[in-house]
Structure 1
Amino acid sequence: MSAVKDWPAYNAALRVQGKDMTRLHPELMKGFGALSAGAAKTQHLDAKTRELIALAVAVTTRCDGCLDAHVAKALKAGATKAEMAEALGVAIALNAGAALTFSLHALDRADLPPA
């Protein structure tokens, strides 16, 4: 069991909520399923590479459900924890880059008079 989050319980809760959303808005969930299935059908990337990218994106978007799903899919596709760490390193670097870029925007705005 993880010291940070009970992932099996989290996943089970999401599945229950997903069923409720499907009942409340079936067309939305049908569309999401189609989008997800379409993105999974790649011609140039293997499943492991795709899942490592998805994992890095999950971190940058801070989506726990995505993180849970794509770690599991990456493992099933043969990714190692070390490979995941490298993909996560890219996400960490990009998040730091985004923070730097937005910090520069803040400093740029500081050159203007108060509104």
Structure 2
Amino acid sequence: MLDWVQYRNELLGRIGEIGKLSPGTVAGYQTLSNAGEKTGHLDAKTRELIALAVAVTTRCDGCITVHSAAALKQGASHEEIAEALGVAVALNAGAALVYSARVLDAVDAHEKKA
């Protein structure tokens, strides 16, 4: 397994380097990342739980380490995190079913054209 704390620190350092080389890119990302805070419809813990579920579905280790720390900071329990991850697992399985139907559709279309 990774040393997630060290990885997070190294990652944030590299992102800082990207910010120096391309400040608009990182500023744009930060604007997107902070947009949800401004609406006030979801609390910070809920946003972090969603972020963890999305991190799993997008397979982003950087997102996992950053949002794991943030979720804990916002008071998320292991049980809440596990429930959010359960949603991610269910959606990935659901997406696989949907895309399986698309494959069958594509196969049918190719057979009809042949």
**2:104 alignment partner in structure 1:** 107
Distance 1:75 1:59 in 2: 17
Identity %: 55
Aligned with 1:31 (options 28, 31, 43)? 28
Distance 2:65 2:27 in 1: 21
**2:86 alignment partner in structure 1:** 89
Distance 1:9 1:76 in 2: 17
Query: Match of 1:49, SS?
Result: helix
Aligned with 2:4 (options 2, 7, 10)? 7
TM-score by length of 2: 0.89
Q: Which runs of 5 or more structure 2 residues have no equivalent in the other structure? A: none
Cα RMSD of the aligned pairs, angstroms, is 1.6
Distance 1:11 1:73 in 2: 11
**1:89-109 CA deviation, whole Å, 9 max, x = no partner?**
000000001111111111111
**1:74 alignment partner in structure 2:** 71
Shift of 1:31: 1.2
More off after superposition, 85-94 vs 50-59: 50-59
Number of residue-to-residue matches in the alignment: 112
Over 6 Å off, 4+ runs: none
CA contact (8 A) 2:5 2:65 kept: no
Shift of 1:48: 1.3
Q: Which runs of 5 or more structure 1 residues have no equivalent in the other structure? A: none
More helix by share: 2
Distance 1:12 1:67 in 2: 13
TM-score by length of 1: 0.88
